[in-house]
Amino acid sequence: MFFAHPVGAFTNLRKALKPGGRIDLAVWAPPQDNPWLSAVVALARRHIELPASIPGAPGPFAFDDPDYLHRILTEAGFHDVKWVCNAGQIPVAGQGNTPAGALTFARNALSTGRVLLDYPESVQQAVNTELLELYAHHYQPGEGVMMGYCAWLVSAIA
């Protein structure tokens, strides 16, 4: 996901496998299929400007388009590329975490948190308040802040 030159990177990975060896990947499906992130981005955009995402650019959603990833893998010499969506609920910031813990995760680990630092404290506080409300809505005691996700489970043969 974070390769500047994904075909070259996957070519090197293929060369490390024996002929007929298999590579298995788990990559995020599109953001709209991942409310754990898309809800945060939508909420933040009500208060701040966020840069537009660039399809295929290095990052967590670089391989969200199966056709794009299929092309990369075949250009790298893989064949029999298959994928399936694994969807469900994911605990934001980890199993059993609280809404406050999920907020800390969002502010420290997601790009929206880094962008938010460039805004006045009043804007940061407004986003924090709304994020806490969002996470409280999805909080399940003993489970954590549970939100929807979809990841592509991909396999290909060298």
| CATH code of residue 20 | 3.40.50.150
Please indicate, yes or no, if residue 142 is contained in any of the structural domains.
yes
Mean pLDDT for all residues in the chain: 96
Tracing tokens 């991942």 back to the chain, one arrives at: 34
Task: Report whether pLDDT(54) > 90.
Answer: no
List 157's β-bridge partners, or say none.
22, 79
pLDDT band at residue 69 using 50, 70 and 90 as cut-offs: very high
Please indicate, yes or no, if residue 1 is contained in any of the structural domains.
no
Give the number of domains in the chain.
1
Q: What percent of the chain has pLDDT over 70?
A: 100
Which helix H or strand E contains 15, and what residues bound it?
Answer: helix 6-16
d(CA 149, CA 155): 19
Which helix H or strand E contains 75, and what residues bound it?
Answer: helix 66-75
Secondary structure E strands in the chain = 22-28, 79-92, 139-140, 144-157
pTM here is 0.89
Please indicate, yes or no, if residue 64 is contained in any of the structural domains.
yes
Enclosing domain of residue 53: 6-157
Please indicate, yes or no, if residue 35 is contained in any of the structural domains.
yes
Structure tokens at 103: 């907020």
